[in-house]
Amino acid sequence: MSARLDGPRKVTGQADYALDRTFPGMLYGYIVLSTIAHGEITAMDVTAAKSAPGVVSVYSPFDPLELHPFKSQLMGDLWLPLHDRDVIFYGQPIGLVVAETFEQARDAAGLIEVSYQEKPALTSMEDGLATAEDAPESRGSAPSIEVLADGVESIADALAQSSVVVAETYRTATQNHAAMEPHSAVAKWDGGELSLYSGNQASYLQATEMAGVLGIEPSAVHAVNPYVGGAFGGKAGTSAPGMLAAAAARALDRPVKCALTREQVFTATANRPATVQKIALGADRDGTLIAVRHDSWSATSMSRSFVEPTSHGTSREWYATQNLSISQKMVPLHIPPGTFMRAPGEASGSFALESAVDELAIALDMDPIELRRRNSSLAPPGVDLQWSSKHLDECYEIGAQRFGWANRSPRGHVDGDWLVGMGTATAMFPGLRFPATVEIVLNADGTADVSTGGADPGTGLLTVLATIGAESLDIDPERVTPHLGDSQFAPGGMSGGSTATASTGTAIMLAATELLDELVALAAEPGAPFEGEVVTYAEGLLHGNHGTMPFGELLRAIGRESLSAKGSSAPGEEMTKHSFSSFGAQFCEVRVHRLTREVRVSRMLGVFDGGRIINPTQARSQLSGGMIWGVSAALHEGLETEPSGRPANADFASYLLPVNADIPEIDVQFVEYPDTLHNAVGARGVGEIGAVGMAAAVANAVCNATGIRVRSIPIMIEDLL
Ligand code: MOS
C-alpha cells in the first residue's frame, strides 16, 4: 500500500475538519486579545458590544466562563483563558464575544473598551539575557549534565587541554506553527455530555484535558477529530478556542464555534522559543573531540511553562567525547508561551552544534564528513547503554556519493554570477514510544477494523494503521478499515515525538496476536467447523486437518458477527538495555548571487536511518517536509517582536515561509535496518528528524559558497554583504 488513504478526501474537500462542522442553532465566538504586553486589566466596558446586533453574550475576566484548574499529564498546568486580569503578553486572550454570526461577533469585539494599568514589558531576548534563570526540570526542559574524564577537573580544563578549540555563539529565531488549519473548535452539549470537534494530536488526551477544565468525567467528553490541518506539537494541548467554545456552549446551551484568525494564531497559541547557544568544541589535531560544551538560553513566557531544550535533554550531544557539559537556562519575557514544535530542542540545537562542527572542520582543515565519522558515538556520552542500531556512517557514504561530495571544494565554486557551496550536517532524533492501545475487530463479512484514539495530524498514521493491521492479520490491506481521531476509541498513542508508528504499530501486533489465537481456539471448539482439530491461521484462512475456511465464514458458522481484541504497548524493559535514536545525514547545495547576495537552495538530500520504513511514500513526505522546515528556519522564518511586544509580522505576507519556488527537488533516501530491539514493528520514527540538521547544512553551505559564517538564523541578505 503506497497511497495515503485520506489523501483523496483531503484534496477533494470531503474531509471534515473541525470548522466544517455545523449544527442547528450554532453560535460563533470571537476571541478578544490584549493590546499590551504587560499590565493589569482595570476595566472592560462591554456595554456597546453587548447591545450590538446579534450578540448573545460577552465574557471577560470580570465575567468569566466556568473553567477549573487542571494539570495535564503532557502539558502541565493548563492556562485558563479569561481567568486572570494580569496580562503577560501582547495578544493574550482576554475576552470572548458570542453572537449569531462570526461577523457580528467580530464587529462587537471591536466595540469593547479595555482599560489597563500598563507596566514595563521585557520583550527582547537580548535585553532579557541578563535576567536568565536556571531552567527547572519541567516541560521541555533539559537538566544540566556534566561528564568528565578521570583526572579532569572541569570542562574548562578539558577545553584548555585541547589543541584546537572552536567557541562561538549561535542564535535561532522565534517560530510559530502557523498551521494551515488555525486553532479552532466546535462544541456541542447534549445534557451533561460534550462533543468537541477540535484539532489535536491525541483525542483521548484532549478529552481528559477538557473534562479536567470543565469539571466533568472524561467519559462525558467526546473529542472527535479525524482530520487535523497541521499540528506537529502545536496542537498537543487544548487551545483557548477549545476551552472557550466548550464553556460558552455549556453556559448558553447552544453549540458554539470558535476559531482564531490567522493573525491571532501568532499570539493566542504558542511558539518555538528563540534561543541563544554557546558552543565550545575542543579537539586534537587529528580531529578527536576532547570536550563538548553546550550552554543554552531559551526564551520563555512569564508563565515559565516551556523551555526549548536545545541542550538535548533526551539524546544529549551526538559525538563520542570524554568530557561533556550541558546547561539550559531560560529567559522569561513578556511574550506568548512556547511549546513543542517539530523536533523540539533538536531542530534549534542542531543548528548550533552542527555549525560548530563545521567550523571545527575548517579550523582543522579536515573534511566535515571525516570529522564527524571520527567522532561517531557508540552510546550517548556518559551513558552505559549503546545505541540499539546505528548506521550513520552508511548514511554519509550513500549521501556523499549521491550528492557528489567529492566535487566539493573547501572554498565552493563560481558559476557565472552565482557562488555555489555545499554543506552537510548530522541529524538525530531520539527513538521514543508512548503508551498506546488499539482495538481490532474481525467482521463476519471478511473485513477488519483497526481503531485507536490517536490522531493523524497529516503524518499518515491512518494509512499506517491499515498497513500494519493488514500485515498482522495477514490479509489484503483493502480489507482493513482504519479509524482514529475519536476519544471513544481505545486510548491510542499520541501523534507527537515521532512515536505513533512504533507505539500504535506494536499495539496492533499484540492485538492481532491475541485475536488470531482466540479465532483459532473458537474454530476447534465443540460444534465449530474444525472441532477437535489442530487449527492454524494464515493469509486470512483457518487451516484444519481437512481444509481451509476464510475467517469471515468461520465467524458466520459459529454465529458471531464479529470478534475483537485490544492490544496495549508501552515503553518497557528495552529502555534499560539500549539507547535509541534515529540518525541521518543532511546535504544541501546553495547558490548565493554575488551582487544581490540572495541565497537559493539548489539541491537537497537526506539519507536517514529510521529503522523499518512502513510506508516509503509517506515517510519520504514526512522527511522532506522536515527538511523544508530546516530550510525555512535557515532562510525564511522568524517571528519579530516590536518593543511593545506586538508581533511585527503576524500574517502570511510577512511571516516568511518557503514556497515551491524556494525548494528544489528533494532527494530522500533510507538505509533500512529494522530496529526490533526498540519495538516489534522495527520502526523508530521519521517524523521529526527531517527538521534536524538541515538549517546547519544550509548555513554550512552558505559558508562554503561565500566564506561568510552566519551564526544567527534566519540568514538575511545583510548578513552576506
Ligand atoms: Mo512533534 S513536536 O508533536 O512534531
> Of 311, 525, 568, which is closest to residue 433 (Cα–Cα)?
568
- DSSP-derived pairing of the beta strands 193-197 and 221-224: parallel
The pLDDT value recorded for residue 140 is 65
Residue 287 has pLDDT above 80, yes or no: yes
Portion of the chain with pLDDT greater than 90, in percent: 92
The atom of ligand 1 lying closest to the CA of 688 is: 4
460-499: burial string, b at 16+ Cβ within 10 Å, e else:
bbbbbbbbbbbbbbebebebbbbbbbbbebbbbbbbbbbb
Q: Please state which of the ranges 189-203, 220-234, 262-276, 485-499 shows the lowest mean pLDDT.
A: 485-499
CATH 3.30.365.10 is right for the domain spanning 375-432+578-721: yes
Give me ligand 1 centre to Cα 537, in Å.
39
Portion of the chain with pLDDT greater than 70, in percent: 98
Torsion of CA 127, 133, 136, 139, to 10 degrees: 0
Q: Please state which of the ranges 32-41, 133-142, 245-254, 505-514 shows the lowest mean pLDDT.
A: 133-142
Give me ligand 1 centre to Cα 499, in Å.
9
Side chain identity at 346, as an amino acid letter? E
Q: What mean pLDDT is predicted for residues 279-304?
A: 96
Torsion of CA 109, 110, 116, 118, to 10 degrees: 120
The pLDDT value recorded for residue 2 is 62
Give the integer Cα–Cα distance in Å for 78 and 201.
16
Give me ligand 1 centre to Cα 497, in Å.
5
Q: What mean pLDDT is predicted for residues 250-268?
A: 97
The atom of ligand 1 lying closest to the CA of 687 is: 4
The yes-or-no answer on residue 688 being catalytic is yes
688 pLDDT tier (thresholds 50, 70, 90): very high
640 pLDDT tier (thresholds 50, 70, 90): very high
pLDDT in tens, 198-253: 999 999 999 999 999 999 999 999 999 999 999 999 999 889 999 999 999 999 99
The pLDDT value recorded for residue 313 is 53
Residue 455 has pLDDT above 80, yes or no: yes
Is the CB of residue 606 below 6 angstroms from any atom belonging to ligand 1?
no
Contact criterion met (CB below 8 Å) for 260 and 106: no
Question: Per residue, what are the HEC states of 138-202?
Answer: CCCCCCCEEECCCCCCCHHHHHHCCCEEEEEEEEECCEECCCCCCCEEEEEEECCEEEEECCCCE
- For the chain, domain boundaries: 17-120+184-271, 375-432+578-721, 436-570
- The CA–CA distances, whole Å, from 502 to 266, 432, 575, 707 equal 32, 8, 14, 43
Residue 75 has pLDDT above 90, yes or no: no
Half-sphere exposure of 327 toward its Cβ, with a 13 Å CA cutoff? 13
pLDDT in tens, 539-561: 999 999 989 999 999 999 999 99
User: Taking the model in full, what pTM does it have?
Assistant: 0.96
Contact criterion met (CB below 8 Å) for 2 and 616: yes
- The CA–CA distances, whole Å, from 17 to 14, 31, 111, 450, 666 equal 9, 20, 31, 21, 29
Q: What mean pLDDT is predicted for residues 159-177?
A: 98
Is the CB of residue 449 below 6 angstroms from any atom belonging to ligand 1?
no
DSSP string, 396-423: HHHHHHHHTGGG--TT-EEETTEEEEEE
The pLDDT value recorded for residue 270 is 95
The pLDDT value recorded for residue 314 is 52
The pLDDT value recorded for residue 381 is 87
Q: How far is CA 479 from the centre of its chain?
A: 31
Mutating to test ligand 1, I would choose from 688, 689, 692 the residue with most ligand atoms within 8 A of its C-beta, which is 688
pLDDT in tens, 506-543: 999 999 999 999 999 999 999 999 999 999 999 999 99
The pLDDT value recorded for residue 45 is 98
Is the CB of residue 344 below 6 angstroms from any atom belonging to ligand 1?
yes
- The CA–CA distances, whole Å, from 285 to 88, 179, 438, 476 equal 50, 46, 54, 58
- Among 3.40.50.920, 3.90.1170.50, 3.40.50.300, 3.40.50.10380, name the CATH number for the domain at 17-120+184-271: 3.90.1170.50
Give me ligand 1 centre to Cα 623, in Å.
13
Contact criterion met (CB below 8 Å) for 614 and 683: yes
375-432+578-721 and 436-570 share one CATH topology?
yes
Is the CB of residue 340 below 6 angstroms from any atom belonging to ligand 1?
yes
Per CATH, the number for 436-570 is 3.30.365.10
> Of 628, 711, 631, which is closest to residue 353 (Cα–Cα)?
711
Q: Collapsing DSSP states into helix, strand and coil, what is residue 334?
A: coil
Is the CB of residue 247 below 6 angstroms from any atom belonging to ligand 1?
no
Give me ligand 1 centre to Cα 344, in Å.
7
Q: What mean pLDDT is predicted for residues 113-118?
A: 98
Is the CB of residue 341 below 6 angstroms from any atom belonging to ligand 1?
yes
Give the integer Cα–Cα distance in Å for 97 and 181.
21
The pLDDT value recorded for residue 458 is 87
Give the integer Cα–Cα distance in Å for 419 and 490.
55
The pLDDT value recorded for residue 372 is 97
The pLDDT value recorded for residue 1 is 53
Residue 142 has pLDDT above 70, yes or no: no
> Of 55, 168, 21, 41, which is closest to residue 92 (Cα–Cα)?
41
The pLDDT value recorded for residue 53 is 98
Residue 48 has pLDDT above 70, yes or no: yes
